[in-house]
Chain A
Amino acid sequence: KNEVEQSPQNLTAQEGEFITINCSYSVGISALHWLQQHPGGGIVSLFMLSSGKKKHGRLIATINIQEKHSSLHITASHPRDSAVYICAVSRNTGNQFYFGTGTSLTVIP
């Protein structure tokens, strides 16, 4: 069983729709990270959070530590948001990250 589970695996949306990607984890963590991987492969960090909520432009990330669950929301989605979104957690012991398998998002104009 993976320490990090994401849903859905694939998501297709119309431009302008509100999008939610979910992440559940089963281990104690020091932080949760949301990453974005564009076609072509580059990976960038979107958010790092250990509690509450963070917002950056049209992206919002929330975490519920008690429920071991995080969500990534995209408001007013745009075709340029099409990418793979990866949830990762860093455990509260050691230096390792554990990654979900990613959610592939396609936004259609």
Chain B
Amino acid sequence: DAGITQSPRYKITETGRQVTLMCHQTWSHSYMFWYRQDLGHGLRLIYYSAAADITDKGEVPDGYVVSRSKTENFPLTLESATRSQTSVYFCASSDLAGGSGEQYFGPGTRLTVT
């Protein structure tokens, strides 16, 4: 299916485990983003990527790792999950730099760390 997809949609994991959230887009957009959404904070940028093999930190990168070996995929890894990483995670993509283009959001992944 065309568009931007995330998997899994729901995940429960234990403290200390490694978790990878997947994001896939079919538009060949250059820019991809990972956000987390928490009550009272709104959406906050974790990492973004301007192209394959180019990534940069956002506002809240600690405890997360990203990679982008292919334009269409942008996985987010929590190397050792903590309870504070319980959140809803959104992936987004855009075809233009900065705010020049719209961002298209995936459906989100609800992660619970116990």
A→B interface (CB under 8 Å) = 2, 4, 29-33, 35, 41-45, 48, 86, 88-92, 94-97, 99-102
Main secondary structure of the interface of A (DSSP, over half): strand
Please name all residues of chain A whose beta carbon is closer than 8 Å to the beta carbon of B44 when the two chains form the complex.
99
> Are A95 and B50 in contact (CB-based, < 8 A)?
yes
> Are A96 and B42 in contact (CB-based, < 8 A)?
no
Please name all residues of chain B whose beta carbon is closer than 8 Å to the beta carbon of A99 when the two chains form the complex.
42-44
Measured CB to CB, the nearest residue on chain B to A87 is B42
> Are B104 and A42 in contact (CB-based, < 8 A)?
no
The answer to whether the Cβ of B16 comes within 8 Å of any Cβ in the partner chain is no
Measured CB to CB, the nearest residue on chain B to A100 is B42
> Are A94 and B88 in contact (CB-based, < 8 A)?
no
> Are A42 and B43 in contact (CB-based, < 8 A)?
no
Q: 13 A-B pairs, CB-CB below 8 angstroms? A: A29-B99, A30-B100, A32-B99, A33-B103, A41-B88, A45-B103, A48-B99, A86-B43, A95-B56, A97-B45, A97-B103, A99-B44, A101-B40
Could you tell me the distance between the alpha carbons of A89 and B45 in the complex, rounded to whole angstroms? 13
Please name all residues of chain B whose beta carbon is closer than 8 Å to the beta carbon of A100 when the two chains form the complex.
42
Could you tell me the distance between the alpha carbons of A97 and B100 in the complex, rounded to whole angstroms? 11
Q: If the complex has contacts A30-B99, A95-B31, A95-B98, are A44 and B105 also in contact, measured as CB distance less than 8 A?
A: yes
The answer to whether the Cβ of B8 comes within 8 Å of any Cβ in the partner chain is no
Q: Mark B49-66, 1 if CB is under 8 A from A, else 0.
A: 010000010110000000
Given A33-B99, A96-B98, 5 extra CB contacts under 8 A? A2-B42, A30-B100, A45-B103, A90-B100, A95-B56
Please name all residues of chain B whose beta carbon is closer than 8 Å to the beta carbon of A43 when the two chains form the complex.
90, 105, 108
The answer to whether the Cβ of B75 comes within 8 Å of any Cβ in the partner chain is no
> Are B99 and A91 in contact (CB-based, < 8 A)?
yes
